[in-house]
A and B are shown apart, each in its own frame.
Chain A
Amino acid sequence: MNNTDSILSMTKHGAYVWPSYIIAAVLLIGLVVLSLRALRKTRDELHNIEAAMQKESDET
């Protein structure tokens, strides 16, 4: 690597390189966050419904 270029500026191409990586990170991490959150929410829903049905069958 050309050591005289700073990591940040990359001979003024940094303005294009860094946003690329940042957008990639936002998209990919964002998708993971959304997916995990949906997973957690659905898992809770499932537990609630199973518990409710268990209770019903216990009562009858």
Chain B
Amino acid sequence: MLHYFANPTRFQRLSRRVEPWLLAGMIVCFAAGLYLALFSSPVDYQQGHTVRIMYIHVPAAWMALFCYTAMAVSAAVALIWKHALADVAAKATAPIGAAFTFLALVTGSLWGKPMWGTWWVWDARLTSVLVLFFLYLGYMALRDAFDEPGRGARASAILVLVGFVNVPIIKFSVDWWNTLHQPSSVLRMQGPTIHPDMLTPLFLMAAAFQLYYFWLLLVRIRRELMANRVRALRHRQAAAE
């Protein structure tokens, strides 16, 4: 079945049918989620209004990890089965994942300043997400560093898999490092025990981000497939002359 969708034309037809639904779902989730997040949800007992940042920060962090996993899976499929669509999916996902990671970091800082008095702290989670951001940047840089696009695709696929093996190692080593360096006054991001009234906007925003990802992914894949076709036709044109 995987190979059924590898055909670009078939994929484009299917994608165009699915996209409007994803777009509609995304807009609904954003509308409901944002309304609840900004206006209708309760103020936290300890954190006041800053808890509203959580509705962006947490879903963004979830998406940062989700996108990297999606990239790793796509890269593995591309390398093992030489599946053309998987490779395109990885390339299309990278900037989206990088954007979510950056968003998680920035909103984390904006949450941290009023809450814990500092823009940045070398907490295990923050540090791991920062390294994840560098992994995204490395992937995109490597992908674009070759004149021949196929070479960039294969090299960056290997990089993503090596990085994926390292992500749990980084997470676990930074956890240890954090406790090593801060034995007594442990700065933990002990968020509020989440009240059900807060869970709804959180899940709505998470769903909105997820639908956003899938919709934008399809758009970007379509663009990549067309760009591949343009390149192929240009080669044919040049060969004919």
Contact = CB atoms under 8 A, between A and B. Distances in A.
Do chains A and B make direct contact within the complex (CB under 8 angstroms)? yes
Interface of A: 1-2, 5, 7, 10-11, 13-14, 16-17, 19-21, 23-24, 27-28, 31-32, 35-36, 38-39, 42-43, 45-46, 49-50, 52-53, 56
Contacts of A52: 237
B200 interface: no
Interface in B32-74: 34, 38-43, 48-50, 52-53, 56-57, 60
A29 to B, nearest CB: 10
B111 A36 contact: no
B233 interface: yes
Contact of B226 (A2, A5, A11, A46): A46
30 contacts: A1-B43, A2-B43, A11-B48, A11-B49, A13-B50, A14-B49, A16-B53, A16-B111, A17-B49, A17-B52, A20-B106, A20-B111, A23-B103, A24-B107, A28-B212, A31-B95, A31-B99, A35-B219, A35-B223, A38-B223, A39-B219, A39-B220, A42-B223, A42-B226, A42-B230, A45-B230, A46-B226, A49-B230, A49-B233, A53-B236
Interface of B: 34, 38-43, 48-50, 52-53, 56-57, 60, 95-96, 99, 102-103, 106-107, 110-111, 113-114, 212, 216, 219-220, 222-223, 226-227, 229-230, 233-234, 236-237, 240
A1 B42 contact: yes
Contacts of A7: 38-39
A49 B53 contact: no
A58 to B, nearest CB: 14
Given A13-B50, A45-B230, 15 more contacts: A1-B42, A10-B48, A14-B49, A16-B110, A16-B111, A17-B49, A17-B110, A20-B110, A24-B56, A24-B103, A31-B216, A35-B223, A39-B219, A49-B230, A49-B237
Contacts of B95: 31
Contacts of A19: 110
A5 B227 CA distance: 51
Which 3 A-B residue pairs are closest in the complex by CB-CB distance?
Answer: A10-B49, A13-B49, A39-B223
B139 to A, nearest CB: 16
Contact of B107 (A2, A20, A42, A45): A20
Contacts of A20: 52-53, 56-57, 106-107, 110-111
